[in-house]
Structure 1
Amino acid sequence: MSDSAVHPDHLKRSLSNRHLQLIAIGGAIGTGLFMGSGKTISLAGPSILLVYLIIGSMLFFVMRAMGELLLSNLQYKSFIDFSTDLLGPWAGFFCGWTYWFSWVITAVADVIAIAAYTQYWFPELAPWIPAVLCVLLLLSLNLVTVKLFGEMEFWFALIKIVAICALIVTGLGLVAWGFKSPSGNVASLANLWNDGGMFPHGLTGFFAGFQIAVFAFVGIELVGTTAAETADPRRNLPKAINSIPVRIMVFYVLALVAIMAVTPWRQVVPGKSPFVELFVLAGIPAAASLINFVVLTSATSSANSGIFSTSRMLFGLAQENHAPKAFARLSKAAVPSRGLLFSCLCLLGGAMLIYLIPNLVTAFTLITTLSAVLFMFVWSLILSAYIVYRRRRPELHAASAFKMPGGVAMCYVCLVFFAFVLVLLWQQVDTRQALLASPVWFALLAAGYFWKGRRGAQLQAESA
């Protein structure tokens, strides 16, 4: 039996529309919404609704640009491929490795969050035990088949959706009933504007909300890394991308409206999950345990997405000769198992390193800011690739059935917006540290790319 019969040489299109839709939803709802919304509300007040709408709108255009590029050539497996093709090998190298690193550090944060949430039920348990068990469980499930990844993500995302829909229905129900809390507050939509208006902290508070809200959208581009394993991408990819605005309206805007209508924004505690507080007010005593379970599955879902996407990135990088050839080898189940193992080892190493940093909050802020900066770099490369595609391949754009609205002009608007967010990140001391750390990563990548070029030239000279 030939080796290719045992080990396939390409990824299988095993993900259905059902999987893709829920992976896209799961990517758009991060742990940040459940845990970080308290802090964003206290910073920006009701204007936080506009913050989420603006960021969501910009990222929708990034996703549309990515969608048109992926469908312009079905040989493109992910954004590494079109970055390499349109911008050059350096872009594929920088894009792939940056995306890989972004997800590893995001997954490190998720695994630490999982350890913290598990301690809610098992306070005596050493935090490294659930962290290691979670990584081993996700690794073993991802090694089986890509369909199993899609199935896990489907159920993880469904739990998040049910929790948010329950919150919206409960909140709007309390408003309709005219519920009065023990502290004397009446649930009403007027709570959104009758205490200092929509911008109670002025533009300063409004801009402060952007710093944390960007983290909540990390992973929205995950649809692009599943393209090579999606059945009928021409039909399913546009459906998944086009549903992003509706998701942002329902899952972010309506959820935050429900929270602030029941609990006036000044009374939202930054360090607590407003989801728990609302269910407690509604008289559901198990609210804290329920939301803890939802946040636990949300963090597991994000770590699962990280493990999946990093292994696919390593596979793509190896195919483009940007990573060791070993990562391009698939298992019998058409899964890049070596990439999975390597990413999980890095993830465990990162998780162990975090326990050496005494202040976890400082570590989290550093990790999430660094992650957001690197994700914005990847999103910017997608937009840059689209601008080049429009200039070089006008015939493909003309033939496209999934054209990006606003075209090149909208790409420039999004790029200016990302630059504006970087300026905002520079304003705060804690986020500035991560911003200053990011050039170190790019310097390492530049050195790696230069070494790879030198090595390639040497091998060519030897074989000549």
Structure 2
Amino acid sequence: MQSATPPSQSSTDSPQNTSLKRAMSTRHLIMLSLGGAIGTGLFMGSGEVISQAGPLGAVLAYIIGGLIAYMVMLCLGELAVHLPVSGSFGAFATRYIGPGTGYMVSWMYWLGWSATLGTEFTAAAILVQEWFPQTSIWLWTLIFASGVLISNLSSTRAFAESEFWLSMIKVATVLIFILLGFACIFGIIPFQGYESAPLFNNLTAQGWLPNGLIPLFTTLLIVNFAFNGTEMIGIAAGETENPEKNVPKAIHAAVWRLIIFFVGTIIVISSLLSYSNTGLQVGGHGGLSSSPFVTVFTQMGIPYAEDFIRFVIITALLSTANSGLYAASRMMWALSSQN
């Protein structure tokens, strides 16, 4: 059933449709969504999910979390295609629920990202200071904040390109990790501690669900947080070329790739590292050395694994800050356009 008033004729939506340039393509949308979801939660927090839910439990948790994210994104995609405006779910809430709801949704989303930006810059600065201990954290924080601000202030196209390449580093790292990991699992590449191919024996070595069924659901909070960032596609719909075609294509491509990346990563970690490995324990020995990625790369014999993962996490933090500032600014713009 068609709406009596086309979205483009709405008094509250017209400024958004005429003032913002549609400069993003499908590849930008896909990388914006992938980059928003692949972050420190995967590189540092995946071991915690395994330690709580067990190897197979972690795989199931990420599959369930991915399917939930996929269904949510399908709903968001329907709305974004029908009403391709900047402000996304804030504008949808205003139009279909009420102005008060839309007001609160927009402000809370803006507040969430605004509070997060400082932690992203500071965390990246702390990691860089480990390379250059003589430098000050505030100096690196200022440098990173300035770079992200320039990226957002330049143009939508400049932001999209910068985010595309920052996200590409994370995506490439995860893809290489999975490919090399499966090569180790099948004995193509030697892995420390195994004289023959480990295959998938570790997945069920401690039983299917060693800690019971409850941790499978409690870890969904961590898993669903890991999928946070996929909503960027909806926010960017107002600045996307041909949104009716590109937004659905980007949603299908991004979410399914995320599920494959997350599940593939968990299978590799669980198959190569024993369930009792300290790199998978909550609290572990702290820092980057407790990251399953560092442990796996090190035992593959890859030199400077910790430095490499540090670089990847720094780019992940900057990518998150870059997309977060973009999302927060678009929410603020949508609020201002509605006075």
The normalised TM-score by structure 1 is 0.64
Residue 204 of structure 2 corresponds to residue 187 of structure 1: no
Structure 1 residue 233: Cα displacement = 0.5
Who is 1:109 aligned against?
Answer: 119
Q: How far, CA to CA, are the matches of 1:119 and 1:200 in structure 2? A: 40
Q: 1:186 to 1:137 in 2, by over 3 A?
A: same
The answer to whether the 8 Å contact 2:203/2:270 transfers is yes
Q: 1:74 to 1:40 in 2, by over 3 A?
A: closer
Who is 1:21 aligned against?
Answer: 30
The 5-angstrom pairing of residues 25-64 of structure 1 reads 25-46=34-55, 47-64=57-74
The residue identity in structure 2 corresponding to 1:215 is: F
Residue 29 of structure 2 corresponds to residue 11 of structure 1: no
Q: How far, CA to CA, are the matches of 1:202 and 1:166 in structure 2? A: 32
The answer to whether the 8 Å contact 1:185/1:263 transfers is no
Q: 1:161 to 1:76 in 2, by over 3 A?
A: closer
Q: How far, CA to CA, are the matches of 2:215 and 2:181 in structure 1? A: 25
Q: How far, CA to CA, are the matches of 1:295 and 1:127 in structure 2? A: 17
Question: Is the partner of 1:226 in helix, strand or coil?
Answer: helix
Q: 1:172 to 1:126 in 2, by over 3 A?
A: same
Q: How far, CA to CA, are the matches of 2:194 and 2:135 in structure 1? A: 37
- The gaps in structure 2 that reach 5 residues or longer are 1-16
The answer to whether the 8 Å contact 1:259/1:278 transfers is yes
The 5-angstrom pairing of residues 21-420 of structure 1 reads 21-46=30-55, 47-74=57-84, 78-177=88-187, 179=190, 181-182=192-193, 187-195=198-206, 197-269=207-279, 270=281, 271=286, 272-321=290-339
The answer to whether the 8 Å contact 1:186/1:262 transfers is no
Q: 1:94 to 1:185 in 2, by over 3 A?
A: farther
Q: 1:112 to 1:38 in 2, by over 3 A?
A: farther
The answer to whether the 8 Å contact 1:30/1:218 transfers is no
Q: 1:262 to 1:74 in 2, by over 3 A?
A: closer
Farther-moved stretch of structure 1 (312-321 vs 68-77): 68-77
Alignment RMSD: 2.0
- Identical columns (%): 37
Q: How far, CA to CA, are the matches of 1:125 and 1:187 in structure 2? A: 44
Question: Is the partner of 2:192 in helix, strand or coil?
Answer: coil
The answer to whether the 8 Å contact 1:30/1:217 transfers is no
Q: How far, CA to CA, are the matches of 1:158 and 1:285 in structure 2? A: 22
Q: How far, CA to CA, are the matches of 2:294 and 2:117 in structure 1? A: 24
Question: Is the partner of 1:181 in helix, strand or coil?
Answer: coil
Farther-moved stretch of structure 1 (287-296 vs 264-273): 264-273
Q: Which string of whole-angstrom CA distances, capped at 9 and with x for unpartnered residues, describes residues 230-281 of structure 1?
A: 0110111001111244213321000111111111222152441111111111
Structure 1 residue 311: Cα displacement = 0.6
List structure 1 runs of 4+ shifted beyond 4 angstroms: 183-186
Q: How far, CA to CA, are the matches of 1:90 and 1:260 in structure 2? A: 47
Farther-moved stretch of structure 1 (268-277 vs 82-91): 268-277
- The gaps in structure 1 that reach 5 residues or longer are 1-7, 322-464
Question: Is the partner of 2:171 in helix, strand or coil?
Answer: helix
Question: Is the partner of 2:135 in helix, strand or coil?
Answer: coil
Q: Which string of whole-angstrom CA distances, capped at 9 and with x for unpartnered residues, describes residues 137-191 of structure 1?
A: 1101211111011001110111111101111111111111174524889632111
The answer to whether the 8 Å contact 1:42/1:268 transfers is no
Paired residues, number = 313
The residue identity in structure 1 corresponding to 2:156 is: V
Question: Is the partner of 2:296 in helix, strand or coil?
Answer: helix
The answer to whether the 8 Å contact 1:77/1:227 transfers is no
Q: Which has the higher contact order (CA 8 A, sep 6+)?
A: 2
Structure 1 residue 75: Cα displacement = 5.3
Q: Which string of whole-angstrom CA distances, capped at 9 and with x for unpartnered residues, describes residues 175-209 of structure 1?
A: 111745248896321111122x2311112432342
Q: Which string of whole-angstrom CA distances, capped at 9 and with x for unpartnered residues, describes residues 348-399 of structure 1?
A: xxxxxxxxxxxxxxxxxxxxxxxxxxxxxxxxxxxxxxxxxxxxxxxxxxxx
Q: 1:253 to 1:61 in 2, by over 3 A?
A: same
Q: 1:231 to 1:189 in 2, by over 3 A?
A: same
